[in-house]
Structure formats: structure tokens, C-alpha cells
Amino acid sequence: MDTPEPNHHPTAAALERTLRAKQASVGVIGLGYVGLPLAHAMHAAGLRVVGFDTDEAKIESLSAGRNYLKHLGEALATELAESARFDATTDFTRLAEVDAVLVCVPTPLDAQREPDLSFVLSTARSIGRALRSGQLLVLESTTYPGTTRDEFLPAVLDAALEVGTSLEPGIDFFLAYSPERADPGRTSHTTATIPKVVGGLDAVSAELAALLYESCVEDVRLVSSAEVAEASKLLENVFRSVNIALVNELKVVLEELDINVWEVVQAASTKPFGFMPFYPGPGLGGHCIPIDPFYLAWKAKQIGRPTRFVELAGEINTEMPAYVIGRLVQALGVNGRDVADSRVLVLGLAYKPDVDDTRESPSFELIAGLAELGAHVDYSDPHIPRTVPTRRHDLKRESVALDAETIRSYDAILIATAHSAFDYGLLAEHAALIVDTRNAMAGFESRLGARLFRA
């Protein structure tokens, strides 16, 4: 986009000149799957970048040029470590050094599947304590409409007042929302090429945020408010959640009819208009799709408008791990085995192929659920050598290397993630039973016969 020259208050005008000259310094809070590539993109555009995170291990890795997000490649971390324009720190008082602060922290669900804004609000308070005149703040974390204006801003202002700072939003500092759009492992799009939606609490904030993103993103789209930008992110992922739920529910029905849902989707995809393929699986993973529908549903309830369709989709997708476990129990029974006496190997801990991203991965639910039934459960994932504790699970397991002898030692192989590194031919030759949730064994059906179950 070509941002117009607005008639600004002196503070905004000074920041605008700095942004147009590409001389702004940028702070990125949260150096994870969203923040790290964003920090790199800003750095690649020639800006000075300070990365902030509470995890000392991430800071140490970046300082040493080691990338803890393997799908981004070691070159990214090396480039940042060797640059005089990049620094990473756990010291949030240094937020006062930068002209713009981009917030990329988690927005999970709590135990009741309601929004947990604790990371957003604690970050807002850290910003408030260091806030100075002339700064631009942008929240990128996925959340419900109204968060930026009604939750994030008051937390910033309250913390600022606690340290004796009184600044007016839209005049002394500026606040916008721009939803993250990251897809770990995807090579067809990058931070620089994915269009960026920007909405401000006021027109000046929106224009300044758009100027900042134009420095490193090819296509920036201004919308009329932060609330529109917040809602657009939810729509993107609710759309996917609803359609995945549809095909997951269809899978259950078609399985009872002995019809291959994958072949059905492939056949429907031959229509050149009016159809978009979505595929079933063992449950939803990643930070967005398993969570965003519940954010929207919660907000809708606050205004007395339940989202029955969206909530139903969330319920269907949440129930898929239990369905898969039921299919595996059924398959073992056909082979004369009780799940409580069985050895099961789950293939894939990551939520999607060929990455090390385990956020909200259904594999955790599968492993925990089978273990509760008395099965001995291991996993194999070439990208994740050992498990680490999550908010809900601490599996305390290490990845099992796949070879013929190992495969034969298990009563069932459950394919949860179709990593390209897995040798599916070897599985077809040696597995006693395969329960396939990803259609990974397509082409091996004749060799497997009754040893293959779809789930």
C-alpha cells in the first residue's frame, strides 16, 4: 500500500519521519514461532531490532547463533547473532530504547476453555512501566475483538501511571493491532510475502503501524479499526476449523459405510469451482485453529449471542483424539489384543508434517489417552528427540528410532503425523497393525490388507 502523508500532531509527525526513513528501532516481544521470523524480517529490512523473551535459553541460543526453531534454519540465527543491529534480552526495561514494540506472546485457553490473556496483560504492564512518548505499540497475538482497546490499553496505562508516566494514546503514543499470519514449515510464503492486515485504535496509529510494516512486508492492508483486524484473524481460523470439523464428522460416517473419506475428498476436489478441499485428522494442532473458535464463542456469549455452529465445530474437533483411540482399540480387538496389554507406537509428535512444532498437538492426547487405558505407548518423531512439559502434559518420553525390528516389537503403529522422513514401505512390510489417521499408507493397501485400519 502507499500510505498517504497525514497531518499529524508533532509527536506522531516525528515518528512518521523516522519510519519513512527506515531508521526506527523495533522491539519484538516473544521470540517464538511468530516473533522470531518477524524480528528477522524487520532486521532484513535494515532496521535495528531488539528481541525480548522471558526464556533465558532462547536468548542464549540466539546470542550463540543457534536456532531453536529448526524449520527456520541455522542461517537465520547466525545472521542475527553476527549483526550489530540485533540484540536479544530478558531485560524488559530496555523497551524504552525502541521506537516500536511488537507483541507476539501466546494467547492460550484456560482449563475451562476460556481465553487466557495472562501473557498479553503481563506484557502490557511491562510495556507500560517502560513507556515513553513517541512509541508505537502493536499487538499481534490472536485474540477476540476488543482486546487491544479494552484489555491491552488499560493495562499499559495503569502500569505507566504506577511509575509516574501519564501519556495519552493517539497523541503521545500509538496503538494498533495486526494479526500474525505464520504457518511453520510452509515455504511458499514468508513473513515478507504474506499480506499484513493493520487496524489502529485511531487513524494515526493505524497509519504509523502500516508504515512500519511496509518496511518489510510487500502488501499491507489498512482496515477501519483494531476490532476489524482482530475479528479478521478469528474468521480466518474459524473458517478452517468449521470445515475441518465437517470433514472429520463426515469421516466418521463414511467409515461406518466402508467408504474412504480421502478418496471422496479427492473426487470432490475435481470440481473447479464451489469446493475447497479440507482433510480429516486425529484432532487439531497448532496455536490458532484449536483455540480461536473458543475465543470467538466466549466473546459472543459476553454479548448474549451464542455461536452454536462455531461451538459445535470446536466440540467435534476436540473429540477426534477419543475417536481415534476408539478405532485403535477396535483394531486391536479384531487382532485378538486388549489395549491394556498392548504396545503402541505413535508416529509423529508434531502437529503437522516436517516441523518440530508441538503446540496443541493431538499426539499428546493420543499418548496420554492410550496410557490411561493401560497400553505401553512410545512415540517416534525425527524432529523431536524428547518431550518437554506442556501446560497439560508431561509425557517424559524420548523418540524411538524406526527400524524393522522396532516396528515388529509393537502391536500397533498409530500414524498421527505424516512426516516425510518416515519409511512407509518399511512400515507396510513389518507392522503387525497400522492405524492411519493421515492417509499416509495410500498405495500400500494391497500389501497391508486387514493390517490397515483408517481412523
Cβ neighbours around 194 below 10 Å, total: 17
Is residue 288 flagged as an active site residue?
yes
Residue of 245, 288, 355, 395 marked active site:
288
Hey, what domains does the chain have and what are their CATH numbers? 10-224 (3.40.50.720), 269-454 (3.40.50.720)
CA angle 198, 110, 239 (to 5 degrees): 45
User: From first to last of its 455 residues, what are the pLDDT tens digits of the chain?
Assistant: 554 454 568 999 999 999 999 999 999 999 999 999 999 999 999 999 999 999 999 999 999 999 998 888 889 999 999 999 999 999 999 999 999 999 999 999 888 889 999 999 999 999 999 999 999 999 999 999 999 999 999 999 999 999 999 999 999 999 999 999 977 777 778 888 999 999 999 999 999 999 999 999 999 999 999 999 999 999 999 999 999 999 999 999 999 999 999 999 999 999 999 999 999 999 988 777 888 888 998 999 999 998 998 989 989 999 999 999 999 999 999 989 999 989 999 999 999 999 999 988 999 999 999 999 999 999 999 999 999 888 788 889 999 999 999 999 999 999 999 999 999 999 999 999 999 999 999 999 999 999 999 99
Global confidence as pTM: 0.90
